[in-house]
Amino acid sequence: MTKEVLVLCQRKSGKVDSRRYSSNNVEELIIPRINEIVQEQLGSDTNIKYLTDMKGTMDGSADYNFSLNSYNLEAKEFISNHIGFYSLIILNTCPFIFMDFKIIYDLLKPGGIMSFNTFPNTANIFLPEEKITEVEGLFENIGNNLYRKRLRGGKKQKTYKKKRTYKKRKTYKKRRN
């Protein structure tokens, strides 16, 4: 059975703005690395789709061209049509700090895998503490930048309750008529 893969924040063709590599072609520089991850995690029977919101990608260099957030009508429709659909979601050079990992959780099948990458670079991935808490609540770390979807939404996430403050009431004297 064909397993579905979604690659976020990445085109499947075009040029990379980089002078550090011999080739600046996406097909030569990035796609082979994505294929390696897919092959390692799922094998060869896969269908890979690319989603990006980069300007100028209406030429077919991405399968979906919109921002994956809950404010976008196109994204809302996509999410509702693809709940529990993907076996692997690769986040490549996405702005991880702004990602809504609940959306990724919803799109993945039970036991599905999420992968953080920064191709063509090999930079470390930084997440602030509140995002780490969000990711750990929904996913289980299974390797270097690899996370498996927890079956029941995972461990309970920390919630921060606002402390209530009470104003002291004024005491009123009874009026005498």
- In terms of DSSP bridges, do strands 3-8 and 46-52 run parallel, antiparallel, or are they unpaired? parallel
Q: Tell which wins on pLDDT, 137 or 93.
A: 137
CATH class label, 3-149: alpha beta
pLDDT of residue 55: 65
122 has pLDDT over 70: no
Domain boundaries, the chain: 3-149
CB 39 within 8 A of CB 53: no
Q: Which of 93, 98, 126 is nearest to 17 (CA)?
A: 93
pLDDT of residue 167: 62
Q: Which of 41, 42, 11 is nearest to 29 (CA)?
A: 11
153 has pLDDT over 70: no
156 has pLDDT over 60: no
3 state SS of 92:
strand
pLDDT, mean over the chain: 81
Q: What is the pTM of this model?
A: 0.77
pLDDT in tens, 7-65: 998 888 777 766 665 567 778 888 888 999 999 999 989 999 999 887 655 566 788 98
